[in-house]
Structure 1
């Protein structure tokens, strides 16, 4: 199947899934489900595009396995939060800002369906790769480091938040000492997997959309800006001190002028 028709099918299935997710949040007042379905959608897109591609079998198999496992891990982690906690502060803020307008929420959910298509573009490059030997081991190594690192960062934050003594405080433990958003850093790093996996593909340049678009969204659109605004609302000066001492995205050693950095 051509890349165009593959991506069109991805969009159709994503739009249906996001409509179901919108109905779910409508009855439960919890829009966090959008992140769960997005992760499932992107992981599912990797498997679907791999199935429909006409490239060499091995890159397509790795695309399906690595992309599918990434989506499953992230969706499972997010579902535990959505199921067990109140609505994420970012979405609660939107609910108040939009006065609960469900038409705006529906458009928001459908925009996430389009994002699934956008992030499926690198998969097309991999699925068209006629070469089965270039970069496969390197791609696996990048995937293991990035997905493993994100899982560790998520667990470190979850353990910190589970301690009632940390209410109102900022996590500075583990990876969170060296980056304010280590989970986002490893998420960005994960998209280099498909750049490496697409080496030799006539559509290789499409694989660059993954890390480039993910960086732009995390840095300027829906990731860091919203997360930090919510952190400032909930943690105030403690988070401002964290901002002054700790790199935003790419890990590095923190400055020593943060009184909470030794906590």
Structure 2
């Protein structure tokens, strides 16, 4: 129950800040640190002292969340309010900020809780040593974080150095995959879920990355981005030469 309260306080706090800034896309900056906040709440308010497994998972989540917050803060600062939220809000009826609170902030809170399920399973378990499964999960998570970080840096370089007329990034990992950053994200969270298999009922932690996979591939990630560019004259060629996720040569 205290995890639910901690999540509600966090996302409501970001709603208040967003209201003051008149920019609901500010929640993007808060998405990553939300997981660190929940880890801290779980460790400080939980019944057990953290063991090696708990320290591993907490460290991975801290590294992931801080990197993501730093990246999104820099990106959003340069771009202003994310147009995706403007598109989302155009069909809202009633008070804009009431809609924003329940449709954006509370929905993201629920998604965060689902995504953090493998973290909760580990943090709430008795102190545990590292197992082979935990080490494999940790290596997967580090690999995923590295791929996501490299992909974001390559995209930032592309956007900074390439004329606006060129829509599609073909630098580094992006020459093989249209969404290598999402691939890295999924590898990271499946790694955390694999690490959580070391504790009781750890298999339930797979719900987190599976939910994220559905969201990225079927709802708000890949479909929204690709729909935006599908009418571009170079799209068909670009699509035929690249994979959706896996950053490896197609042929």
Q: Is the contact made by 1:47 and 1:65 (CA closer than 8 Å) also made in structure 2?
A: no
Q: Is the contact made by 1:147 and 1:187 (CA closer than 8 Å) also made in structure 2?
A: yes
Q: 2:100 aligns with which of 105, 109, 118?
A: 105
TM-score after normalising by structure 2: 0.86
For residues 68-79 of structure 1, what are the structure 2 equivalents within 5 Å? 68-79=62-73
The Cα offsets for residues 70-101 of structure 1, whole Å up to 9 and x where unpaired, read as 10100110010111113333223224454993
Match of 2:219 in 1: 221
Q: 1:210 aligns with which of 208, 214, 226?
A: 208
TM-score after normalising by structure 1: 0.83
Question: The residue matched to 1:237 in structure 2 has which SS?
Answer: coil
Partners of 1:16 and 1:203 in 2: CA distance: 30
**What stretches of structure 1 of length at least 5 have no aligned partner?**
256-263
Partners of 2:49 and 2:176 in 1: CA distance: 40
Partners of 1:205 and 1:229 in 2: CA distance: 34
**What stretches of structure 2 of length at least 5 have no aligned partner?**
none
For residues 1-263 of structure 1, what are the structure 2 equivalents within 5 Å? 5-26=1-22, 30-51=23-44, 52=46, 54=48, 57-98=51-92, 101-107=96-102, 108-127=104-123, 128=125, 130-134=127-131, 135-232=133-230, 236-254=232-250
Change (3 A) 1:146 1:172: same
Q: Kindly report the root-mean-square deviation, in angstroms, between the aligned alpha carbons of the 2 structures.
A: 2.4
Number of equivalent positions: 246
Q: Is the contact made by 1:10 and 1:117 (CA closer than 8 Å) also made in structure 2?
A: no
1:55 is displaced (CA, Å) by 7.2
173-182 or 42-51, larger mean C-alpha shift: 42-51
183-192 or 202-211, larger mean C-alpha shift: 202-211
59-68 or 164-173, larger mean C-alpha shift: 164-173
Question: The residue matched to 2:59 in structure 1 has which SS?
Answer: helix
Partners of 1:120 and 1:53 in 2: CA distance: 18
Extract structure 1 runs of 4+ deviating beyond 6 A. none
